[in-house]
Amino acid sequence: MSTPSGTSTGIHTLLVANRGEIARRIMRTARAMGMATVAVYSDADADSPHVAEADLAVPLPGLSPAETYLRTAGILDAAARSGADAVHPGYGFLSESGDFARQIGQAGLIWVGPPAAAIDAMGSKVGAKEIMRAAGVPTLPSITIEGDGPPDAGAAGALGWPLLVKASAGGGGRGMRIVSGPDGLGEAVAAARREAESAFGDGTVFLERYVSDPRHIEVQVLADAHGTTVALFERECSIQRRHQKIVEEAPSPIVSPDLRARLVDAAVAAAAAVGYVNAGTVEFVVDGGGHPYFLEMNTRLQVEHPVTEAVTGLDLVRLQLLIAGGAPLPEEVHAAVAAGPQGHAVEARLYAEDPSLGWLPSTGTLHRFEVRPSGMSVRVDSGVESGSVVSPHYDAMLAKVIAHAPTRSEAAAALAATLAGARIHGVTTNRDLLVRTLRHPEFLAGDTDTGFLDRHGLAELAAPLADSSAVRRHAVAAALAGQARRRAEAAVQRTIPSGYRNNRFAPQQVSYDSRDGTLTVGYRFDQTGQTVIEVALDGTAVHLDGATVAPDQVVLTSGGVTRRYRVEQVGATAYVDGPDGSSVLQEQVRLPVAGDRASEGSALAPMPGSVVRVAIKEGDTVEANQVLVVLEAMKMEHAVHAPSPGTVTEVNVDEGEQVETGRILVVIEPATATPPGPEPTIDAGRTAP
């Protein structure tokens, strides 16, 4: 079959019912196959790259997922208005909705995904476990929490502590809580229900025996409508935060040929049990004894699919489109299965979040986003670019960076180097955590499990790549670049540059707020303004063998070592990137203006979000670190705690209200006249008991 576009799938125009990096990635393959592409977008995504890259774009008025990407009527209307004849759901949002798949078919459109019945069967994790048990696939013991009431602690305890509370619908780590005993069970179930209802529209949760620090290993399957199902080997996804993957690789460093055969057989049996067609992933946990247990089946394309593409040489989106058009699995798939994994691939998920603050999401404008491949074959799948705005309405992932090399150590090294050299300005990211993880001796030895981050701690893994010595060099570079920039601007405007001195022998000074405190740089150029003749840091002379200075680049030579720094100034903020890491330096205002400050007992919103729970009321007596308010941002809950003990005098928000960063949520009158306590703390990803 052929179409006016020349494709062999029966698809002329493909609508991608998603956003960000996955929308761009799907469109890339669709264009290569001769298809026209259609983007849909919320108000917040109007200027997003996926919209600009599509042939056609249709708005979905609103901001929240429920108003936009989760609204089936809006997607169907967009398909009709654009003339699309097929819909690819990507991952997340409606990708695992059987009802949506049925509506696509009823509208006469091609659904690029599995049959609705298969989605329904695997969409309920509770029902899926029963199907898997019947098919002989090993599963963990579990019970479903019926209704909206509290769980039966006795029945829960019979499974064996600790337990994992999980949402029956959806995935991505949302609606999950670990419970070590009966005391925290009720609150964990309630919090998981809220998060699952918000993310998936279904608050059903169940309890499952929790395997401490297992391996998280999944198998990619492909099935056509002609009865052929194959497995494209395994992926290791054990490096996780908040039950969500951040580093994935293929193949797994611990999977033996015997274990691979068992995983592949179980995955193919799972797909066959539900009449699966198209691409899907069967997930397992593997305990310390090497025993795999079925976790769930994701009836869609996975975030981490590029590592499978790298080691097989296959384009999984192309294969999805061919299968959706009725084609059998092509010979290249069978050849890849016979050949086995080629080399090793590692993927890292780059998130806009601060690991050191409990994974607090970071929002704002990406003034610069440059991730340039380093070393071996490196691929960057991003949903943003320089100038993009990171909003609080959707997932915090900015990009996926994937490295493929002949060996695992080479792939990890190339990926770490690419991330370390990235220039990301405007939002805080987990970049340094990823680099330290990829370079960690335990990771390189293949000793990874889901407890990796907890075992090593964020003090070790989330420490900035730039140490204190590097930050001090960065401050010098920022100061010298700033003066060069002012001189360049003055030359264009024919004015006296900022910082001009009648006494040319007097050094100029600039102070920066950095993560290491205030750093003051004194410097002096010669009369030409081109040569640095004096530099001091906090009053101590800095010896330089040489310095080349430009408004956006400074080269410093000291102790026989030359370092090149890229400098970008945005307002009063200097971003410095170099071979020794990156720094964000806030230039201090020379003549500060007094302003209002929030009172000592104020708890402020740490980021924009929606209030999902107010845990206190005016007049309540609270203890230090007691939960005050729970916010939801970027699909996760974040609890705001009391900074000190005292009495609640003001509650300034209601449940369901949207708040901006810095909003005063609650005011507490301290219990005694004590020195100021710590700032309000944030517990990201779960609510406190």
- pLDDT tens digits for range 283-319: 999 998 899 999 999 999 999 999 999 999 999 999 9
Which DSSP category does 560 fall into?
Answer: T
The DSSP result for 408-444, as a single string, is HHHHHHHHHHHHHT-EEESS--SHHHHHHHHT-HHHH
Closest-CA residue to 24 (of 422, 399, 311) = 399
Please check the confidence at residue 103 and state whether its pLDDT lies above 90. yes
3-class SS letters over 135-186: CCCCECCEEECCCCCCCCHHHHHHHCCCEEEEECCCCCCCCCEEECCHHHHH
Binning pLDDT at 50, 70 and 90, where does residue 212 land? Answer: confident
What is the distance between the alpha carbons of residues 239 and 247, in angstroms, rounded to a whole number? 5
Binning pLDDT at 50, 70 and 90, where does residue 267 land? Answer: very high
Q: What is the pLDDT of the chain when averaged over all its residues?
A: 90
pLDDT of residue 355: 94
Please check the confidence at residue 8 and state whether its pLDDT lies above 80. no
SS3 667: strand
Please check the confidence at residue 3 and state whether its pLDDT lies above 60. no
pLDDT of residue 110: 98
Check: CB of residue 242 under 8 Å from CB of residue 359.
yes
What is the distance between the alpha carbons of residues 125 and 543, in angstroms, rounded to a whole number? 64
Mean pLDDT of 83-103: 97
What is the distance between the alpha carbons of residues 80 and 13, in angstroms, rounded to a whole number? 11
Task: Give me the helices (H) in 452-603, please.
Answer: 452-456, 458-461, 468-493
What is the distance between the alpha carbons of residues 2 and 462, in angstroms, rounded to a whole number? 52
- Please write the tens of the pLDDT for every residue from 394-409: 999 999 999 999 999 9
What is the distance between the alpha carbons of residues 246 and 409, in angstroms, rounded to a whole number? 18
Query: Could you tell me what percent of the chain has a pLDDT over 70?
Result: 91
- Please write the tens of the pLDDT for every residue from 531-569: 898 999 999 999 999 999 999 999 999 999 999 999 999
Sorted by where each starts, the structural domains of the chain and their CATH numbers stand as: 13-112 (3.40.50.20), 141-209 (3.30.1490.20), 344-428 (3.90.1170), 468-587 (3.30.700.30), 602-684 (2.40.50.100)
- Please write the tens of the pLDDT for every residue from 608-658: 788 889 999 999 999 988 989 988 876 677 788 888 899 999 999 899 888
Looking at residue 392, its amino acid is P
Please check the confidence at residue 452 and state whether its pLDDT lies above 80. yes
Please check the confidence at residue 174 and state whether its pLDDT lies above 90. no
C-alpha torsion sign, points 660, 666, 669, 674: negative
Q: H or E segment at 286? A: strand 278-286
pLDDT of residue 7: 58
Mean pLDDT of 578-588: 96
Check: CB of residue 562 under 8 Å from CB of residue 569.
no
- Please write the tens of the pLDDT for every residue from 141-165: 888 887 777 788 888 888 888 999 9
Check: CB of residue 581 under 8 Å from CB of residue 465.
yes
What is the distance between the alpha carbons of residues 509 and 14, in angstroms, rounded to a whole number? 58
pLDDT of residue 6: 42
Please check the confidence at residue 167 and state whether its pLDDT lies above 70. yes
What is the distance between the alpha carbons of residues 439 and 431, in angstroms, rounded to a whole number? 13
pLDDT of residue 550: 96
Residue 175: how many other CB atoms lie within 10 Å: 28
Please check the confidence at residue 2 and state whether its pLDDT lies above 70. no
pLDDT of residue 158: 87
Query: Could you tell me what percent of the chain has a pLDDT over 90?
Result: 68
What is the distance between the alpha carbons of residues 147 and 143, in angstroms, rounded to a whole number? 13
More confident residue, 593 or 20: 20
Least confident of 29-43, 48-62, 194-208, 493-507: 493-507
What is the distance between the alpha carbons of residues 286 and 281, in angstroms, rounded to a whole number? 16
Could you identify the residue written with the tokens 């493909």? 14
- Please write the tens of the pLDDT for every residue from 659-686: 877 788 999 988 864 444 444 444 544 3
Closest-CA residue to 348 (of 275, 270, 401, 301) = 401
More confident residue, 224 or 595: 224
Check: CB of residue 677 under 8 Å from CB of residue 639.
no
Residue 229 is encoded by which pair of tokens? 């199902």
SS3 648: strand
Please check the confidence at residue 240 and state whether its pLDDT lies above 90. yes
584 beta partners: 575
- At residue 477, φ and ψ (nearest 5 deg) are -60, -40
What is the distance between the alpha carbons of residues 514 and 139, in angstroms, rounded to a whole number? 50
Residue 314: how many other CB atoms lie within 10 Å: 21
What is the distance between the alpha carbons of residues 370 and 386, in angstroms, rounded to a whole number? 7
Binning pLDDT at 50, 70 and 90, where does residue 603 land? Answer: confident
